[in-house]
Structure formats: C-alpha cells, structure tokens
Amino acid sequence: LLILEFKMLGRLVGDPIFEVVAERAMDKLWELRDSKTGLIGNVYNTKSRSWDDPMSGIGAGIDSYFEYLLKSFILFGNEKDLSRFSDYYDNIVKYMRRFSVSDSNVSNFDNPFYFANVNMNTGQLQNHWIDSLSAAFVGVQILHGDLKAAIMHHALFYGLWLKYDALPERYNWYLKKCEYALYPLSLNSQKLRTCCFRQLGTHFIYLSGKEFMTVFRRIIKLDVVMLL
C-alpha cells in the first residue's frame, strides 16, 4: 500500500523499479477482489494465496488502501486509480452503509450513517463494530466530491467524540456502547475535520474542530502529568 511513497521515491531517485513493484502490488489486489461484490478483505496470506480475514470495511487494516488509491490519482493523474477507487466506493456504499435512524420519513441527507464491516464474498454483515481509523474515510469522501455524505458521516464521529471525549478504538453500533476503550491519540478525526472545513467552511465544522483541540490538549496534559 506504499503506492504514494514508492512512486515519489522512484521519481526522486530516477529509478522506476519502486513504482513498478508498487503498481504490481496494486494490480494484484485489484484482481483479488470478489467478483460478485467487488470488495476486498482485510488480511491476505501470500503463502497460501487466500484471504485469512474476509472482512471488508473502511477501518483498521484497509483504510489506507482506498485513501492511497484516490490520492495516487490526485498526485500522479493515473485514470486507472480513479476508476478503481470509484468502483470500490460504489460497492462500499452499496454493501456497507447503514443509517443510524430506521425511519423512512427521515431523509438520507438528515440521517447520520456508518459503514459496517461485511464479508467480502457475500456483502453480509460481519460484526457490529466500527473503529476510530474509519473516521479518516470522511476526508476521502470529500476528496471524492461526495460532500453531503461526508457531512453526515462526520456527524456520527462528532457525536461519539462528544459522548466519550475521544473516539473509542471500537464502538458497537448495535449495542450503542464502547467496545474497546482505548484512544491512541490518533489524529484521524481532526484530519477529517480539516478536510471538511477547508472544503465547506461551515461554522459547525469549525466548532467541532475547536472542541476536539480542547479535549486533545487536556488529554496530552494528563498524559504528561502521569509520566512525571
């Protein structure tokens, strides 16, 4: 998944081998997607040449793949990367999106949603949790131009942040409770807010970013005191 770094490295040192190898890996992953759902799994075993973990999602273990695919197009202009990302995005929305409120009277644009983890081969629900790394996908949605969806997706993580003063490493959306109470000082949530604010400039995004920094500074101070 080091497609960005390897492409840039190859061009900086004048040796195309880095880009060639990275592109080969990306091509192979594209071939390994399921023919029915168009999704890929989380862990691929290169020895057995099979998926050890067929869970497909947008969080830990797979989040950077989609992000780098789109950013590779933005930086280097390869239409193939954009085409592949667009295909993945359509399938992610089709199989993973779940709305927070099950009410037909509520518009999709007024209903915060999340992307559930599903089985790559069937598109069926795999588990009931989302993780903190999936917050970065909001920034990817903005880069892709799906602004309305990005705003509603951001609302979910902002709600979790207000509830816990941080994003829990895992949140069980079915039981509506924290499943893994760990926050490793990840900046993914602030990264998505920066993308949102630069693109949209709304007061709500500004306030959510300000709230994040207030809590984040408090957490850092607590960590420093504990170390002393």
Hey, which residues are catalytic here?
169
> Using CA atoms, how far apart are residues 75 and 57, in angstroms rounded to an integer?
25
> Using CA atoms, how far apart are residues 105 and 92, in angstroms rounded to an integer?
24
Structure tokens of 36?
């029915």
**Residue 114 region, left (φ>0) first, then alpha (ψ -120 to 50), else beta?**
beta
Task: Give me the amino acid identity at 132.
Answer: S
> Using CA atoms, how far apart are residues 149 and 53, in angstroms rounded to an integer?
28
3-class SS of residue 200: helix
Q: Give the CA count within 13 Å in the CB-facing half-sphere of 74.
A: 13
DSSP 77: -
> Using CA atoms, how far apart are residues 32 and 22, in angstroms rounded to an integer?
16
